[in-house]
């Protein structure tokens, strides 16, 4: 009866088919099946034995695809989807759900990290987590299953109908509700030791009613089920065996801990993941490019004084003024006069692509490795806007929450190595960019006036690395002179900023 209602009410194709079968003088007109439902294969009838009519040929082709929607429960696998262009694998960072948790659609399942960014994977289904297939730290290929979810409602598979008699009645649409209820997909929650105990005494753990949290099968459930089924009469013996097994496991764990203590001085092998793995690839490519470096010394006295003025007059608690936003803004103004340094080189076509946007990347050292997010369209931002965006990117990087958009699209890189230490460095290119700049630590040195008097000044060394295939030393020297002038006389920024 249930099946008959489904056939009659849910699918107008069956109602049409029944009406046509009851009409002895008319052949059924072809009506396309419902595209949203599943196929019923091989519908045939003696009345359609003729093959010469094109209408019957069309009907014979599509009438075997009448469809129905039968809701039932089942287990689906959630695969790792494509997280970005060129991404083939990701590392599992952490899970937001555990086995037995109920999840809603679009709820966070886990966090993964690729070579470019950290991404959260959300659920497409509403149901219960049956099994988590990957642990934090595992490398998962795109398309591989992450976990299994027991969904509340999916569609049933294809139903085969052997034949249809003169009319569709309850006998031809017979539905066995008892077998439907018994069809269950999934597993029960239990620890490995409990599963081993059930297997040891030949008990199917799926037949045991769990009394633990979320239906988890406990040791007591296995013992009680075995006693009820007459599999074992001495329940305390089983409990004793289980206790002895637990003790042996504890002793084994203790011995492993002692062995680990003895191996304290042994070498360790650490796999490179996430940003560290990305750095291996990018630096290997950069090592093949002919570099040259240009070193200059810049006076920071005026810029430090201006920065202190801004900080003293600052009314926003979340904003901290530093020299870096001034360096980024002045760098953008210098790039406006020398656009070749804000470009990328297409080696195959021998073309230099001049970038319209000044997307200045800033190298950041994080607990997860070196990462270079970039500030988009610096030429259209104020120094205050650059300061706020820099603070946001730094916070996201330290929390390992940068997106692909934050990392991709850079046109030139600035590395403030002096914030950690060091007077100068020789940076390698962040391909496909053609220039990278390293700023050393600001320190005071004695300098002489024109009349021979000594005075202290705050200076920093700046090293510019460039791709010598497309950029020459004279161009870098002129660019650096322009940038140096804007840093040493920051009031000139007012003449050029829009």
Positions annotated as catalytic residues are 468, 472
Residue 278 host element (H or E): helix 274-286
Residue 305 host element (H or E): helix 301-312
Cis before 234? omega within 30: no
Q: Identify the burial level of 150 via C-beta atoms within 10 angstroms of its C-beta, where 0-12 means exposed, 13-18 middle and 19 or more buried.
A: buried
| 216, 189 Cβ separation under 8 angstroms | yes
Whole-number Å distance between alpha carbons of 45 and 33: 18
Angle at 91 between CA 132 and CA 102, to 5 degrees: 30
| 464, 477 Cβ separation under 8 angstroms | no
Whole-number Å distance between alpha carbons of 116 and 113: 8
- HSE value, Cβ hemisphere, 13 Å, CA-based, for 283: 10
Query: In 6-119, which ranges are continuous DSSP H helix?
Result: 12-22, 54-62
Torsion, CA 49, CA 53, CA 55, CA 61, rounded to 10: 50
CA 485 to chain centre: 43
User: Which pairing describes strands 127-132 and 159-160: parallel, antiparallel, or unpaired?
Assistant: unpaired
Residue whose C-alpha is closest to residue 296's, from 488, 481, 485: 481
């Amino acid at each position: 009866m249930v099946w008959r209602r489904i056939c009659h009410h849910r699918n107008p194709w069956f109602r049409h088919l029944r009406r046509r079968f009851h009409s002895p003088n008319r052949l059924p007109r072809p009506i396309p099946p419902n595209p949203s439902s599943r196929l019923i294969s091989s519908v045939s009838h003696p009345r359609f034995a003729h093959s010469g009519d094109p209408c019957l040929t069309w009907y014979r082709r599509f009438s075997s695809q009448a469809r129905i929607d039968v809701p039932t429960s089942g287990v689906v696998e959630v695969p790792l989807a494509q997280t970005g262009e060129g991404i083939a694998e990701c590392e599992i960072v952490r899970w937001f759900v555990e086995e037995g948790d109920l999840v809603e659609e679009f709820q966070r399942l886990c966090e993964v990290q690729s070579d470019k960014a950290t991404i959260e994977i959300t659920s497409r289904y509403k149901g219960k987590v049956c099994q988590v297939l990957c642990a934090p730290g595992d490398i998962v290929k795109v398309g591989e299953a992450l976990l299994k979810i027991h969904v509340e409602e999916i569609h049933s598979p294809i139903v085969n109908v052997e034949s249809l008699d003169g009319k569709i009645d309850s006998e031809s649409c017979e539905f066995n509700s008892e077998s439907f209820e018994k069809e269950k997909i999934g597993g029960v929650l239990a620890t490995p030791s409990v599963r081993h105990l059930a297997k040891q005494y030949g008990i199917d753990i799926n037949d045991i009613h769990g009394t633990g949290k979320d239906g988890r099968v406990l040791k007591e459930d296995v013992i009680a089920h075995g006693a009820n089924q007459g599999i074992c009469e001495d329940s305390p013996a089983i409990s004793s065996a289980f206790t002895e097994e637990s003790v042996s496991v504890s002793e084994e764990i203790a011995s492993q801990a002692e062995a680990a203590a003895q191996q304290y001085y042994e070498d360790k092998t650490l796999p490179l993941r996430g940003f560290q793995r990305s750095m291996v690839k990018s630096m290997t490519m950069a090592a093949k490019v002919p570099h040259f470096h240009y070193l200059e010394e810049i006076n920071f006295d005026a810029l430090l004084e201006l920065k202190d003025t801004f900080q003293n007059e600052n009314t926003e608690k979340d904003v901290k003024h530093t020299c870096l936003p001034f360096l980024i803004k002045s760098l953008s103004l210098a790039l406006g006069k020398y656009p070749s340094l804000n470009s990328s080189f297409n080696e195959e076509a021998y073309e230099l692509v001049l970038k319209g946007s000044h997307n200045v990347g800033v190298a950041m050292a994080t607990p997860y490795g070196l990462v270079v997010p970039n500030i988009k369209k610096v030429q259209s931002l104020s120094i205050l806007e650059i300061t706020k965006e820099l603070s946001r990117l730094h916070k996201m990087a330290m929390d390992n929450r940068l997106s692909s958009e934050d990392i991709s699209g850079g046109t030139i890189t600035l590395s403030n190595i002096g914030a950690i230490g060091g007077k100068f460095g020789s940076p390698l290119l962040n391909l496909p960019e053609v220039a990278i700049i390293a700023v050393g630590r600001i320190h005071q040195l004695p300098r002489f006036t024109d009349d021979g008097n000594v005075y202290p000044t705050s200076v920093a060394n700046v090293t510019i690395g460039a791709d010598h295939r497309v950029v020459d030393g004279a161009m870098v020297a002129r660019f650096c002179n322009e940038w140096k002038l804007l840093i040493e006389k920051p009031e000139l920024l007012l003449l050029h900023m829009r």
